[in-house]
Amino acid sequence: MSAALLSWFLYRTVRAPQREATVTVLALNRNMIAGTLVTDADLKVVAVREREAPKGVLRRKEDAVNRALLVEGSVNEVLLDQKLARQGGIEGIAATIDEGMRAVAVRIDSVSGAGDLVQPQARVDVLFTKAGKMSEALTSTILQNVKVLSVGTRVRPGEKVDPKAPKAGVVTLLVSPEEAQKLELGKNEGRISLVLRNPGDSRTLAKTDPVTSEVLDPLGDRPAPKRPKVAAAPAKPQPPLEWNPPPDLNVKKKPDAVVDVFRGGKHTQEVFR
């Protein structure tokens, strides 16, 4: 009997699973995109090991309902307080706009949008180009290191879109109120293009002077330099017509006027007194 009890004790100690303390936390009941308002139906209660419960995990539904997701969430994902907008925040993507910032939409195509490489959460520079004559055209960098909030209806990097959808679209940029004014002016006065940045490069240029057409064509459409005027040489006086009467003309006195007359190949002189 003692041997049986000893064997059972060793089995429970060595082989039987050890029970650990658990806690109940909130998790998502479905996949959700950023900006979605969380409802009671989107939540469920799950049990996790107490030592594995992450910091900031929510445990009561009233702490999560009517708050918007700041990032996308997956089904069964434990819900953290830092992934939700403040209590009473508005629904939709607007909940992801930081305080003091503004969302401004810019229409682009496959060229001005960096060849469709611009994705949500990317960082871009904004170029403004003023069209016109060659002497009037210029390009300047008006904004630097700007965050892309969304591209069309996409708010997540790599989100699939309909391949039949047109390439032209709208990019929403996250800017300050002052930058929003500058961006709106550029949209109405010329052409806006986006330049994709390395996400790890936060450097900005201190000097962003406009680039003019002189870098492409130093002469541009400026008129050619005028040649200096050369004074015309004074006309040489013509020598007076000499009297040269034919031998058969018996004229001794020089007439007042003599006119050379050419008729075909025949040459005669008419005398006038």
Distance CA 183, CA 187 (A): 6
Distance CA 243, CA 252 (A): 11
Q: Is pLDDT of 46 > 70?
A: yes
More confident site: 236 or 11? 236
Tell me how far apart the 2 most distant CA atoms of the chain are, in Å.
182
Rounded mean pLDDT, 198-216: 84
How many other β-carbons are positioned within 10 Å of the β-carbon of residue 95? 19
Q: Is pLDDT of 18 > 90?
A: no
User: For a pLDDT cut of 90, what percent of the chain falls above it?
Assistant: 34
pLDDT tens-digit series, residues 239-260: 655 656 666 555 555 555 667 7
Distance CA 117, CA 239 (A): 86
More confident site: 220 or 137? 137
Nearest to 83 by CA among 119, 45, 36, 40: 36
CB-neighbour burial class of residue 96 (10 A; exposed 0-12, middle 13-18, buried 19+): buried
Q: Is pLDDT of 167 > 60?
A: no
Distance CA 117, CA 128 (A): 19
| Coil vs helix vs strand at 68 | strand
| Backbone φ, ψ for residue 20 (5° rounding) | -115, 155
Pair type for strands 123-130 and 138-151: antiparallel
pLDDT-based confidence at residue 50 (cuts at 50, 70, 90):
confident
Tokens of 260: 């050379």
Q: Is pLDDT of 180 > 90?
A: yes
Residue labelled with tokens 């195509």: 109
> Residue 36: its pLDDT value, please?
85
Q: Is pLDDT of 93 > 80?
A: no
Contact 140, 209 (CB under 8 A): yes
> Residue 185: its pLDDT value, please?
94
Q: Is pLDDT of 112 > 90?
A: no
- Per the document, the length of the chain is 273
